[in-house]
């Protein structure tokens, strides 16, 4: 049922933006009859409270549920006490940690940054020279430059 509510919410949002039923159906990859059904049920669905995890990916919610985290409060507590980290609970990887951090921040919860993890990398001479140049120009440490570049590259890849 939760999936239908999420789909109905999305269909209603598109309808409110002025899209026709056929356009909504094309955008969502669903038949127009389903869109009409969801829009017809929207007043009933809209009265229901949005799920606590709205905005998180289905897979992330599944990983949290498997670990017994079934509320926003439980997630915040687990985040703060360090129960959530790479590999803990099962299925939580770096991208899911970033997703959770962004979601918590966007919903009004200040979260402590995860402690940095030391890594040893081999750089060719050209990359080392470029890193030193960027370090001098930006005033950042080498770690800060590398972290920033990796995060920017990841954000570019996610937008593709």
Domain range summary for the chain, segments of one domain joined by +: 2-46, 58-106, 125-159
pLDDT given for residue 1 in this prediction: 43
pLDDT given for residue 126 in this prediction: 94
Distance separating alpha carbons of residues 72 and 64, to the nearest angstrom: 10
- In tens digits, the chain (160 residues) has pLDDT values of 457 777 888 888 899 999 999 999 999 899 999 999 989 988 887 787 777 888 888 899 999 999 999 998 999 889 888 888 888 888 888 888 888 988 888 878 877 666 677 888 899 999 999 999 999 999 999 988 998 888 788 777 655 4
**Helix, strand or coil, per DSSP, at residue 88:** strand
Q: Which residues pair with 64 in a beta bridge?
A: none
Distance separating alpha carbons of residues 91 and 89, to the nearest angstrom: 6
User: Is-above-0.75 flag for pTM?
Assistant: no
- Distances from the Cα of 123 to the Cα of 54, 115, 129, 130, 131, angstroms: 41, 24, 9, 10, 9
Which of 63, 62, 45 is closest to 6 using CA atoms? Answer: 45
pLDDT given for residue 135 in this prediction: 94
Distance separating alpha carbons of residues 74 and 72, to the nearest angstrom: 5
DSSP E strands, the chain: none
Instruction: With beta carbons less than 8 A apart as the criterion, state whether 127 and 100 touch.
Output: no
DSSP letter, residue 83: -
């Amino acid at each position: 049922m939760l999936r239908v509510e999420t789909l109905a919410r999305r269909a209603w949002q598109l309808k409110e933006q002025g899209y026709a039923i056929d356009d909504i159906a094309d955008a969502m990859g669903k038949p127009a009859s389903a869109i009409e059904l969801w829009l017809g049920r929207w007043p009933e669905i809209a009265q229901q409270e949005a799920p606590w995890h709205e905005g998180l990916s289905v897979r992330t919610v599944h990983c949290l549920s498997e670990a017994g985290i079934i509320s926003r409060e439980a997630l915040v507590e687990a985040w703060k006490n360090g129960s959530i980290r790479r590999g803990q609970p099962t299925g939580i990887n770096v991208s899911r940690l970033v997703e959770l951090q962004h979601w918590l921040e966007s919903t009004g919860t200040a979260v402590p940054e995860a402690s940095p993890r030391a890594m040893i990398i081999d750089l060719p001479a050209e990359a080392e020279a470029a890193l030193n140049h960027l370090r001098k120009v930006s005033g950042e440490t080498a770690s800060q430059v590398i972290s920033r570049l990796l995060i920017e590259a990841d954000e570019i890849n996610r937008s593709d």
